[in-house]
Chain A
């Protein structure tokens, strides 16, 4: 590669990374949770243009299976799904406090392994993993003794 081309690429890298960092920082997870799942969907639709049709009232246990439902359900205020690529059904969950302790306890009892599979915002969570970092969401890393939020790395 010629030197001039390298310089252009490096410049693009620097400028793109800085702009990206600044704009992602502004894309804070701020759905209106007073509107419940509809508030999450509206926020997601505003950011991505997807998640226009929300399905609610379906069986949470049928969606995540009985093991995870036992852990998550006590913290679920309301939930629904919508379509957001690549997810045909992305779960949108309004949370009340307690999910960290529930997961830690389930870990200690050997009922679950690893970390919760949700992407967390403030008072809500999505069930996806791909693209969640662009929404400013975080993962929860847990041991039986403690849990900590970590920023999701780029997919």
Chain B
């Protein structure tokens, strides 16, 4: 009965909306081509995870997810202010144009390595904007001024004063709104800033599309190989690499550190720290450079690295509070070894019948009957002779046995 009621509700409301808007088809979402930062990072993250999750590989997208979480990419079409009311320039401060709310703030990061769409100046193209729901409104597309530096925060004064493209209620087809526009006469790296102000509501949507204007000839020339990497700060599970820069006819946008063909780190600079390595293990690491067109350089010479031995660890697991259907657990990791344990990860059995409801001083993921805890930004390392603490709440169904063993960065710890 309730389902039928809900269905009737949807049909009635849809009919009312269609009549109210006179059947006008308009948009809701974000720029798909040239892709906005949230859309292209979403696509990058989906590809990086192999589907089912978001694990971006583009360095800017990686940084954005570290700052703002994965939710803004799952909701890549929701970069909006509900009550903008045509006052976007008044209420959005400089530096926040690409992500005016806290949720999307990470997409304001002033970096050169966001995913880029190559465009040809003065060409007539078809802009595409995804459409989840129909609303009337007007889209304005601005481009950054000559001399714009993408590594500095985007300001309103960085935009040309007049939009190079403006359209009201564009046509809808195949779930997207699309319209033709003539690109501006620009060269090099720019941002196309799209601002959609609904006319039936104060809600407005924002997107930044990173673009490279070229002369119509696609860039197929890859960067040169980076120089030989030098390893330092080797621990049981991490190593820092530095390497001489690669060069490119347009510009190097980032680097990947590889173990064979597996990408183990990305960086926008000539330095990276590879984490998550296994103690007492040999690695042969190389670096490749990328440009904005996605061309990949030959690999650098390799550097051989053998990870160190993880210091002896001890884990104290206590339950200060237990109630019918749940408990609170505190965990203390002590490092009695001679060197710090960086980027610690503690793994223990987490059998069925338990549900993690909250964690503090760490991030905990549960998969395949195992819990994996990682430190927060302020306790990611266990200093030599020191310790870190974290805790979590669990809801339970039935009896739960305390974990008997813990593994820290691949090595077993003593318990008690």
Interface residue ranges, A against B (CB under 8 Å):
9, 12-13, 16-17, 19-20, 23-24, 26-27, 36, 46-49, 56-69, 73, 76-79, 86-89, 91, 112-115, 117, 127-131, 134, 139, 141, 152-155
Contacts and interface: CB of A to CB of B under 8 A. Distances in A.
B357 A113 contact: no
Contacts of B75: 87, 127-129
A131 B17 CA distance: 13
Given A12-B15, A65-B66, A114-B100, 5 more contacts: A20-B16, A57-B356, A58-B366, A117-B101, A134-B13
Contacts of A68: 69, 102-103
A87 B17 contact: no
A20 B3 contact: no
Contacts of A16: 12-13, 15-16, 19
25 contacts: A12-B15, A12-B16, A13-B20, A16-B16, A17-B20, A20-B12, A20-B13, A23-B12, A56-B356, A60-B358, A64-B71, A65-B66, A65-B69, A65-B106, A66-B67, A66-B69, A67-B67, A78-B395, A87-B75, A114-B81, A153-B82, A153-B201, A154-B17, A155-B132, A155-B133
A48 B81 CA distance: 26
Contact of A12 (B8, B19, B68): B19
Interface in B104-156: 105-106, 132-133, 135
Given A73-B358, A134-B10, A63 B16 contact: no
B103 A117 contact: yes
B364 interface: yes
Contacts of A155: 28, 132-133, 135, 203
Interface string B229-257: 00000000000000000000000000000
B411 interface: no
A63 B69 contact: yes
B355 A46 contact: no
Contacts of B15: 12, 16, 20
Contact of B359 (A9, A59, A87): A59
A74 to B, nearest CB: 9
A65 B67 contact: yes
A108 B63 CA distance: 26
A27 B16 contact: no
Nearest to B103: A117
Interface size class of B (residues with CB under 8 A): 35 or more
A57 B355 contact: yes
Contacts of B103: 64, 68, 117
A113 to B, nearest CB: 5
Contacts of B9: 20, 23-24, 26-27, 134
Contacts of A131: 133
Given A64-B69, A65-B69, A86-B132, A49 B201 contact: no
B36 to A, nearest CB: 15
A130 B78 contact: yes
Contact of B69 (A9, A61, A130): A61
Nearest to B357: A78
B336 interface: no
Contacts of A27: 5-6, 9
A144 B274 CA distance: 41
What 5 pairs between A and B have smallest CB-CB spacing? A16-B16, A65-B69, A23-B9, A65-B68, A19-B12
B280 interface: no
